[in-house]
Amino acid sequence: MTDFDPGPGLTELTAVRLVEGYRKGEFSPEEVTRAVLERAEQIQPEVNAFVRLLADEALAQARESTERWRRGEPKGLVDGVPTTVKDILLLRGTPTLKGSKTISAQGSWNEDAPSVARLREHGAVFIGKTTTPEFGWKGVTDSPQSGVTRNPYDPTRTAGGSSGGAAAAVALGAGPLALGTDGGGSVRIPASFCGIFALKPTYGRVPLYPASAFGTLSHVGPMTRDAADAALLLDVIGAPDHRDWSALPTAPCPFAAALPGGVKGLRVAYSPSLGGQVAVQPPVAAAVRRAVERLAELGAYVTETDPDFTDPVDAFHTLWFSGAARVTRQLGPHQRELLDPGLREICATGARLSALDYLAAVDVRMELGRRMGRFHESYDLLVTPTLPITAFEAGAEVPKGSGHRRWTGWTPFTYPFNMTQQPAATVPVGVDGNGLPIGMQVVGARHRDDLVLRAGHALYEAGVAGTAPKVTK
């Protein structure tokens, strides 16, 4: 691998551009895959985005794809496109260890998760498995099994989580498409910190199997270089699978086809701080406001207003902590000692919760969903900061001196929309004074993933979205 010249810019191309290049014969999937694997090996020592690179398998898939394109018979929408898979999702032939020393790599590993299966059917090239905190439990990416994942802009800082490896890989050119999971912000948080686009689709839009221990909070979503790539990826993975009884039918029209609609005439609610509930860093607030003003210039009807809810963090904790207790319920005392100490702590809290506690949290969730349903009768989209802060020191669950106890203290804009199952994306809209990315969150009504993607795409087209990551050594 080390004697291969990656070539000019192949690792910086979007999936849409790669497919176009394959069609025109400008370059081959094998050339691109070699370049991406070289890039992945280059970045791995500093950012630690991968738990496993699959060079031999990826090159074999790329050679097969190259031959299909040579014959003019591509297998699907993303034939030959390098793709990564978060190590929470099953990838056939590869262990899925979920960041935990309690899971053995032994076994046949002979099944794909639904989203992975759809990508395989469309000819994607699987580059490797990306890092996650243990069982995806927190909003930063470090684990006993794989160590700390670092930010592409400043390796002393966190990439965010729990899909931190996926975000870092996309930002640094180690594959334009990534599968992440999001139970409380886990595609949006790292995408915001790493300066890329990510979408948590409407719950059920992307089937999930095995079912998450965190229940219907957890979504599978695209993490990409821009909104057009996310739409392409969602068109591939947003297909029903019999293993998930809550999976939605295929969308009535391709998401990629809806992108040119723009934002003209859309009713956009802009909430800078959820009614003063969130303290937002001034550079973040300023960047988001500038992006909102651009939406208005593009023809959206923007109103500064707030959704009608108070912070549902206590109910979220009940749902989240009980899920953590469930995922570890069969571990013995020795295995529990191997767990991330923070995870062990919330598992103990979750184990003390009763069924009545859980159902009371479900009641809060249902009321929150009702309020947001009513809100979206007046507004097509809600826009907020994705996070109130930019990336902080790597290896910590919360920023030093913040006073927060858990990761939910600095993610108040993300987890409410896991509770309501709405589509929510993050769009990179600038950097702070330290050059760290800032994300803007775009939330739609349930089943209106198309509007969320349209708004994100409009910002890319207008030159508002998109930041170039620093290249690590």
Q: Is 306 helix (H, G, I), strand (E, B) or coil?
A: coil
Q: How far is it, in rounded angstroms, from Cα 187 to Cα 423?
A: 12
Q: How far is it, in rounded angstroms, from Cα 97 to Cα 25?
A: 38
Q: How far is it, in rounded angstroms, from Cα 425 to Cα 185?
A: 10
C-beta separation of 87 from 97 below 8 A: yes
Q: How far is it, in rounded angstroms, from Cα 233 to Cα 326?
A: 31
Q: How far is it, in rounded angstroms, from Cα 89 to Cα 87?
A: 6
Q: How far is it, in rounded angstroms, from Cα 176 to Cα 166?
A: 10
If we measure between CA atoms, which residue out of 239, 186, 256 comes closest to residue 217? 186
Q: How far is it, in rounded angstroms, from Cα 206 to Cα 386?
A: 22
DSSP state of 56: H
Active site residues: 86, 162, 186
* 52-55 own/partner pairs: CB under 8 Å, 24+ apart: 52/87, 52/94, 52/95, 52/128, 52/129, 53/127, 53/128, 54/94, 54/126, 54/127, 54/128, 54/129, 55/1
Secondary structure (DSSP) of 158-227: B--SSSHHHHHHHHTTS-SEEEEEESSSTTHHHHHHHT-EEEEPPTTSS--SSPPTTGGG-EEEEEESSH
186 vs 34, 360, 447, CA distance in Å? 29, 24, 20
